[in-house]
Structure 1
Amino acid sequence: MTTPPYQQYPANVSDKSKLVAGLLGILLGGFGAGRFYMGDTKTGVLQLVVSLVTCGIGGIWGFIDGILILVNGGVDGQGRPLRD
């Protein structure tokens, strides 16, 4: 049995998916899940704290952030653009 070849991405493109990051932002944005996935832990923690302090109302930030990631793309924690 052979193993499939390891998929490599170009050096200037992230291994993180724009679709996954956007959907995590939309569905779990109040927890900062999209930002944690992208490697942007500072913003992820900030989204989580704002959501907790505002009793969930701050989750709108993560929802809008997820939509913007899907529409405009984004960068991962190392500054590389997300792959499509």
Structure 2
Amino acid sequence: MYAGQIGLGIAQLLVAIVTCGIGWIWSLIDGILILINGGRDEHGRPLRP
């Protein structure tokens, strides 16, 4: 959610809750992709550590 994608973060949270925790896989994959590709914020700027 810190990258400005609040709707996506809320959707991931709701999926994890509704599926009794199985939806965490979506968040895990999203996190791995951010680590591999570097991630971008809502304006397309790269995230920095």
TM-score higher than 0.5 here?
A: yes
What is the aligned-residue identity percentage?
61
Q: Could you list the runs of 4 or more consecutive aligned residues of structure 1 that deviate by over 3 angstroms after TM superposition?
A: none
1:77 equivalent in structure 2: 42
Structure 1 residue 58 corresponds to structure 2 residue 23: yes
Structure 1 residue 39 corresponds to structure 2 residue 9: no
Aligned residue-pair number: 49
Q: Which of structures 1 and 2 has the bigger CA Rg?
A: 1
Higher relative contact order (CA closer than 8 Å, sequence separation 6+): 1
TM-score by length of 2: 0.84
In 2, the alpha carbon distance for the partners of 1:40 and 1:65 equals 12
TM-score by length of 1: 0.53
2:14 equivalent in structure 1: 49
